[in-house]
Each structure stands twice: as C-alpha cells, then as structure tokens.
Structure 1
C-alpha cells in the first residue's frame, strides 16, 4: 500500500493548479460550440425555418473560430489545453497543430457551404426529422477528431461522427437509404472494433494513450514485431474508414442513397477523417513502423486508385460515378504515405495538399450533381442532357470542377498530384508513379464523359417521366444552391492559380508530423 507521502507525490506529479487561459480555451471552442448548437437545434425542431437559420449562423461562427485557431497556430506554433486539473500525459488534452487546424478550417468551410445548400435542398419533414442537428453533431465529431491529442478520445470522436452520420444517411427512410445505411454501418462497426482493439493493445504495450507521449515512447522502442502488428491494426481500421482497398466496397454501395447534400458532406469530410487519422498515427506516433509498412501502403494506394478510376468509367449514374472518384482520390492521398516521412520530404506534404483539394472539389461536385439532377429530373447519364444550352453559367462551374478533379492545370488538383508524382519517382516507386498517371487519365475520361452526356449533348427524349424522389422542385432557382457551389469552385480556382499558400501550409503541417518535437515538448515538458 502506498504511504500518504507517496500518494501526495503522485498527485503533485499528475495534477496541475494552473488555470486554463482564455486563448487556450480557444482550442476546444469549435467542439463546444457545435455540441451546444446541436442541443439548441433540437429545442426548436418544430420550427424548421428558424432551425436552418440558426444552423447556418452557428456554423458560420464555428468557421470563424476555426480560422482564428489556424492563424494562431501558424503564428505562435502548436497549442494544447489540458482538461480538468490533470497534467499530460495523465489527463486528456486538446492539441492544435498545423495539420489538425488546417483540416479543421477546410472542414468548417465545407460544412457551412453544405448547410447553406441544405436550406433549399432538404424538405421540411426531414428538417423536422433532425437533419441540421445531425449535421452539426457530425461536425462536432469531425472537429474533435482533428483536435484531440489522445488516442482513446480519437476513438470517441469517431463514434460521435459515426452515430450522427448514420442518422443523416437513414433520414427519409427510403428503401435504398436503409440498404446503404446497413452497408455503411456494418463496415464502420468492423473498423471501429479494430480501432478499439488496437487502442487497448497500445495502452497495454506503452501504458499511455497520449499521442505526444506515445510518440516519445515509440521512438525509444523502435519498430519491433509488436509495434508493427499494432500499426497493421491501425492501418486496417483507418483504411476501412477511408474506403481504401480491399475494404472500399461499402462507399459505392452507400454514398449514392441519401440526399445529394448529405453525399457531399460524406464524400468531402468523412473519408478524410480516416486519412487524417492514418497520417497522425502512422506518421507521428509510430513512424518507425510506418517505414516498414511503406511497400504495403504503396500496394494499397495503387489498387485503390485503379479500382476507383475503373469503377468511375463503368458507371452510368452520376452519384455512383462520383462515389468511385472519391475512392480514387483516397488512393492518391495514400500514395503520399507510401514514401518515407521526414522533415522536408515532399510526399506527405503532397498528400495533405491533395486531401484539402479533395474535400473541396468532391463536396462541390456532389452539390453540382444535385442541381443537375434536379434540372434534368434524373441522375442517370442516359437521361440527362442539354444543361449547357439552358444553364451556361452553372455548366461553366461544373466544367471547372471536372478539370480540377481530373488533376489538370491550372486548378487545385494539379499541383498536389505533381508533388506526389515527383516524390514517388524520387523514392524509386516507379510503378506507383505510373498508376498515378494512369488513374488520372482514366478519371479524366470518366469526368469528360459526364460533361459530354449530361451537359454538352442535347437533352434526350424520354418516354416517361424519370423518378425524382431525391429532388426538390424549388432547387434550381434558389440562391442557397448557387452561392455555396460558386464559393467552393472559386476556392478550387484560387488554390490552383495561386498554389503557394496551400503548398506552404502543407509543408508546415507535414514537417510538424515528421518532427513532433515541439508538440512533445509542449505537452510533456520535462516529464519522464
């Protein structure tokens, strides 16, 4: 039994009496605001118009906080906030670095754009069913995942966003939705189980779940068999959540079933949380094991890219096609993880930049697909057409997005892909570099086919009206659908024409992962 003096010494080591400063509280503010906003939205569920106004205003405020936090981190370096009176690594911490806050700000902008779009695209009965509370709660989970400095709480935030996203996916209860929700739920349940097992084994091996502490201990331990086994478990769990090969089939089977705006949120954000977790855990926490697993990651990346590109070519429904484009994009991001991670190395920076591009362009493409399907009465490429003549400005925006997702210059998808290509060639991964080029060519053909059939050709004659249960009659003429699509497209153009800010941000984020000494020192100080 410990003596009173021993207990006092342990308490003195674990506890801190330092108050939480106001600017430190800024780290947890995005999550706290969104949880509070979700609760308020539930209180006004019988007033859907007020609910929509509050959701958009609240997400706008959250985005402003996200930008403030990103600016603070870029100016002053990483920040942490210890919860309660427990000093890291004994307690739970929120940790804000360049990688997390970059993803946070881009996700906040995308969620705000989708919320504005949803004010016109979501029917009244589904607003009353909880669309906006689910959306805001999902974003609380996404924000928590980007800001947590604790491995178990990363699991907790994954659960929060999974529960909310499942509600969004099933909202409306159409048979196709329920079928898609089942596939989505089962695969994510398996991934979550793998994640929880890996987290428990990590605690048993290292005695801590604080990421900074784990990074220090793992660096001392090296890449032995147990650490490599843990890394494979994390790769399997996060690979499932990101829809990487060979567990990517759930995404094409589910993302086309809900409303277009829900698909836009999922395609833009949810798979990128899985990618973020892979970068954080394999790149920062277990880097020695990552170096051992790079051949495996290269194989997964190449196969994911090819399955996505070939799947996109084979589809005749615009949303099913975009589902496969999402999968191909995940493979492209993983190509940046298939090369060694070191300060100044280009591979990880390219992956981060491509992930940011993918969030924006995929969300915009799904929103544009919703407008196109509404204006033609169908989401089938066989029944769409004539949009260029009737809606030239809208068609021009879509053409820009088609070029961007194909990776063509001078838009946002070109520069990250070029960086990834150079990084893979420099590392001797010629096969992976060839697949990067080939998948880009196939995606270009698939997206040009979409534009040629749905926009350029004349509208085909139809014998009977198309099924349009996913579309709302008021959608084409509402500014709420035009403004977010234009804003996302404008950002895609700006990031392509002026790539240096994104390149610099990605390099800072990548260097923070490759060399986490600043985060470790800030979190642990001189703790043993």
Structure 2
C-alpha cells in the first residue's frame, strides 16, 4: 500500500475534533476520556511524522475540502514548513497531555476538571493543526479563533480570581488581534478579490506598492500580537504565569509560534518584496533586548521564563526579516527548537512548585541536593535556551547570526550584536535561576523560611500573588508528571544529535518558501 499525503492531510484536524466530541460524550468516564485523548494525540503524531516524510520526499500536498476546487473551496496545504510544525507541535501536545493527566490523577480533578480539560485540549490541538494547514486567510482565521475559544477555557481552569482576571485580559487582547486580522482580510480581499493564499500571491503583484505595504502592515499587527512581538507583547507575562503548569507550558511553547508561522507564511508568500523588512528587523531587535531585560528583573520563575519567551521571538523575527534562504532556514530551525525547550522549562517549573512549594527565587534553594533529577531536567533545557554549544539553541543562533553577517547591512549587523548580547543575558538569567533555586542552601534564601509555612497571600514586588502550596505532599514529584518532562528533555537533546538532518529539512523548507511558485502551482494547478 502506497502512502498518500492527500489522504493523510485532513487527519491532524479531523482526529482531535472527533476525539473532542467523543470525550464530551464520555464526560462521566475519565479513564475512557484519557484513553481516547491518548490514542488521538498519538495518531496525530504518527500522521504528522508521515506527512513530514512525504512532504520532504514528494513535495507539497494539497487537499480541496468538499471537492470544491481552489480557489473557491477550502485548501489544506502541507509543505515542509507546515509538516515540521505539525510534528513538533504533536510531540509537545502529547507530552503536556501526559503531564496534565498525571497531575490530575495525582491531585484529583478539583482544580483541573478532566471532563472539561481534555475535550478543550483536543479542540486546541485541532485549532493549531488547522492553522498550520490553512491554504486561505479565512481558514487561518478560523484556526486562530478555535485557539482563542479553547485557550480561554484552559487559562481559567480552577476559576481563581487571578486566572479569571488574566483570562479576561488575554481574551480582550486576542479579540483586538482578531478584529485587526478581520480588517486585514477585508483589505486583502478588496485588493485581490480572493482569500486563497496562492491566488492572492499571484494577484498581489498587481496591487500598488503602497497599498500592498499597508495590507501587510495590518496583518503584521494582528500576527505580531499573537506572536508577542514587541511592542505588542506586554500582555503575555501577565497572562501565562497564572494558568496551571501544563496550560502555561503549551501556551508558552506553542501558541506564540502559530503567530510566528503566520508571519512567515504572509511574508514569504504574499509580500516577498521586503517593503517592511527594516521595520521587522527593528521589531526583532527590540523584542530580543527588551524581553531579556524584563527577564532579568523577575524573581518569579514563571514570569522570568515568560519574558525570555518574548525575547527569543525576536530571533525568529530576525531570520524572517532578512528575507534570505539562510535567514529563513535559521528561523524555521529556531522555531522548532524553541517550542520544545520553552515547553520543557515551563513543565520543569511545575515540578519545582511540587518539590519546593513555590516558584519564587526569594524562597527557593537547595533543589540540586533535594532532587538531582529535577536539577538535570532544568539544567539541560536551560543551557539549551542560553545557546551553550553543542545544544540546538547554539546551532540555531549561530545559523541566524551567520545569516545576518552574510546580509552585511548595517541594521543586520546591529541585530547580530543584539542577538549575541541577548544570548549572553539569557545565559545570565538561567544561571541566576540555577544558583539561587538549585545551588544555594534554602536557608540562605531571603524568604526560605516561609516555604514550610501555611499558605499565604503574600504579594511579590511585581504585584502577583505568590502563595505556597498547602499540600501535604510538597517535596514529592509524581512520576506521571516527571516522565513526560524528561521525555521532552530527551527530544530537545535529539535536536542536537540529529541537527544535520533537521537543518537540511529547514534548508529545503526555506528554499520552498523562497520559491513561492512551487506553492502556487501546487495549489492552483495552473489556474489564474
């Protein structure tokens, strides 16, 4: 039997949607819910892996949903970039689900009701996959809206005041982004008469340069909010840290990268002329530098990692804005690297809270002695994030800095310098966490003595409530939560071990992105 990418393409969206419906029906049977979710996410991972293999071997695959030919119908498109994003996302989604289920089994479902969590999580999975496969702007918008609806539910699980407040803020920002996206779609349709990306790419060449730049600017604002590009990133550090650990992990690792993916697709397919490249370069520089400076000022590890998340989005924007194959290849590889590493670090923070009762650096210490496994689980992705050789973070950053140096413009060299400084400051930030949380004695922490006290409603200097756990099992990490975290650490190391083949895939993906005629021909098949 010969595998067909066309037959497999709809499955990453269809499987989780059907599974979400099944888990809703099985709401009173949590074991059956967990089994359905596990099977569905494993199936998505397997299908995504096959799609990556087929896309790399055979080229772009296109499915016209409902039998309606493009550009009238809905097109689902799998190229190397989309397939790679599907694979990395499926790995992260599966690992986080296992972590969350392990947490729910260990704690009970009072704070994370499984009957709500799993169907919503599967809907989130479908939204992510739909966004990566979308071949038209409206279907991309639908993917974003599915993400928004599911993420609001996940963000407010437990219904604490902080979570509801953060959820409302997140939804308001996301709604503004969606409205701007709708406006951008309207402008693009008015200028080209279509929402199909391939047909729009052909017709956009006939649109006046000023109008084209204005449309791109509107879409960049919408995607920039979702990707947390400075100055559109201020919402993120206040929204993500309040959610449960697995929700924060999947949001931080994955959802912002959907926005980055949208920027890559729009920039390379619809607006390849480079009209706003200098604006993107400046935004990338500011995102890197201001994000990491914000991280330096934090004492709560979740907020600190939220700021590093913002900072490292700047590297991806840097590679995109160079508009070269080397820059795009570095950006694609760095997106895959950052999804895995950032997710892992947020899961580790959840384990730190289990082990020590807090994520505040003012209250932590001695974790390396208390739990060497946890220390290793933090150290490896932390060094990876900091760009220490030979980890994948180093490989991705070197690729981006080399692309900037090859560009040779003054602004590109400024970005090279900014990227180098940001990498050093990232290393300083993670080293600070290591020395304070893991290396020093807990008795030396300014508030270390509070760790064993009853839960309190103390407010830290950032204005966030930092309460210790009142659980009797503080100091114990459930194996069902630890194993998926270690699994992601291993996958992150695999990006280093198999860096050669992955970089080759990134290069070929970048080559496809630069030669948009391949995408256009695959979707339109010679139609105007």
TM-score range (shorter-chain normalised) is: over 0.9
State the aligned residue count. 502
Distance (whole Å) between structure 2 residues aligned to residue 100 and residue 186 of structure 1? 28
Alignment of 1:142 with 2:125, yes or no, is: no
Q: Distance in 1 between matches of 2:206 and 2:384?
A: 43
Task: Report Cα offsets for 1:244-286 as digits up to 9, x if no partner.
Answer: 1111110001000010110000001100000000000111122
Corresponding residue SS for 1:316: coil
User: In structure 2, which of residues 157, 163, 166 is the aligned counterpart of residue 180 of structure 1?
Assistant: 166
Q: 1:74 to 1:42 in 2, by over 3 A?
A: same
Q: Tell me the CA shift for residue 204 of structure 1.
A: 1.0
CA shift, 1:330, in A, is 0.6
Q: Residue 459 of structure 1 aligns with which residue?
A: 442
Please name the residue that 2:31 is paired with.
49
In structure 1, C-alpha distance between the alignment counterparts of 2:269 and 2:435, rounded to whole Å: 44
1:4 is aligned to: none
Q: Could you say what secondary structure the match of 1:81 adopts?
A: strand
Would you say the 8 A contact 1:121–1:472 is kept in 2? no
In the alignment, the residues of structure 2 paired with residue 162 and residue 332 of structure 1 have an alpha-carbon distance, to the nearest angstrom, of 25
Deviation sequence 1:158-204 (CA, Å, 0-9, x none) = 00011001110011111110111122111111111110110111111
The one of 73, 97, 116 equivalent to 1:130 is 116
Aligned position for 2:463: none
Q: Distance in 2 between matches of 1:470 and 1:76?
A: 55
- CA–CA distance in structure 2, aligned partners of residues 306 and 437 of structure 1: 10
State the partner residue of 2:311: 328
Q: Deviations over 1:209-231 (max 9, x none)?
A: 1111112222x326611110000
Structure 1: gaps spanning 5 or more residues: 1-20
- Which residue, 10, 16, 19 being the options, matches 1:34? 16
Partner of 1:438: 421
- Give yes or no for the alignment of 1:385 onto 2:365: yes
Secondary structure of the 1:80 match is strand
Residue of structure 2 equivalent to 1:315: 298
Normalization by structure 2: what TM-score? 0.92
Residue matched to 1:157 = 143
Cα deviation digits, residues 298-351 of structure 1 (max 9, x gap): 11001111111011110000101010011011111111012123xxx2001101
CA contact (8 A) 1:120 1:475 kept: no
* SS at structure 1 position matched to 2:76: strand
Give SS of 1:292's match.
coil
- Contact kept in structure 2, 1:120 and 1:474, CA below 8 Å: no
Deviation string 1:373-429 (CA, Å, 9 cap, x unpaired) is 110011111111111112112211211111000111111101110011111122221
For the residue of structure 1 that corresponds to 2:233, the secondary structure is coil
The separation in 1 between residues aligned to 2:268 and 2:4, in whole angstroms, is 31
Q: Match for 1:267 among 238, 252, 265?
A: 252
Give the Cα separation in 1 of the matches to 2:519 and 2:382.
39
Counterpart for residue 505 of structure 2? 505
For structure 2, which runs of at least 5 residues remain unmatched after alignment? 456-466
Choose the corresponding residue for 1:76, options 55, 58, 66. 58
* Distance in 2, Cα, partners of 1:293 & 1:440: 25
TM-score relative to the length of structure 1? 0.92
Secondary structure of the structure 1 residue equivalent to 2:392: coil
1:17 — aligned with what? none
CA RMSD after TM alignment? 1.7
Deviation at 1:474, TM superposition (A): 8.2
1:8-23 matched pairs, under 5 angstroms: 23=5
